[in-house]
Amino acid sequence: MADDSLIETTSPQSKRVSRAQGVYGSACQHQLAIIMLYGSACQHQLAIIVSMNFVFVDSPNNGSCISLFGNNWSIVHVCKMPFVGATCVFLLTGGYAIAQTHRADFKSGDAIVGWNVIVVN
């Protein structure tokens, strides 16, 4: 399970604006895969299937949520994932998120991923 802070920049001292909440595990026949329901089935590369909520904790979006689902392949530097649901101020909106991996340490499980979220109202 994951309950990670989402901050404005890649600096750990940056302002927290949201939380990424999800579940992850791994399954792969050929090599390590991380499942992020936050789930994955892979064949020859690290694959992350992301099912995650961004829960906003800062005004004016406090309490609002965006739900994402999609693939995040380790060899692809930038991945796009669609919204599959939203609440509060984001209700009845559409959009997608672009995930860009800045740093990943597979030994410790730590990563810094930049998320650019596009909301269409």
**Where exactly are the structural domains of the chain?**
2-120
| Predicted confidence (pLDDT) per residue in 18-27, tens digit | 888 886 655 5
Is the per-residue pLDDT at 32 higher than 80?
Answer: no
Is the per-residue pLDDT at 75 higher than 80?
Answer: no
Q: Would you state the pLDDT for residue 40?
A: 43
Is the per-residue pLDDT at 61 higher than 80?
Answer: yes
**pTM of the full structure:** 0.71
66 - beta bridge partners? 54, 86
Question: Average pLDDT, stretch 37-50?
Answer: 54
Give percent above pLDDT 90 in the chain: 13
Q: Where are the beta strands (DSSP E) in the chain?
A: 2-7, 16-22, 24-25, 34-36, 47-56, 65-73, 78-86, 94-105, 110-120
DSSP string, 19-34: EEEE-EE---SSS--E
Q: Would you state the pLDDT for residue 36?
A: 44
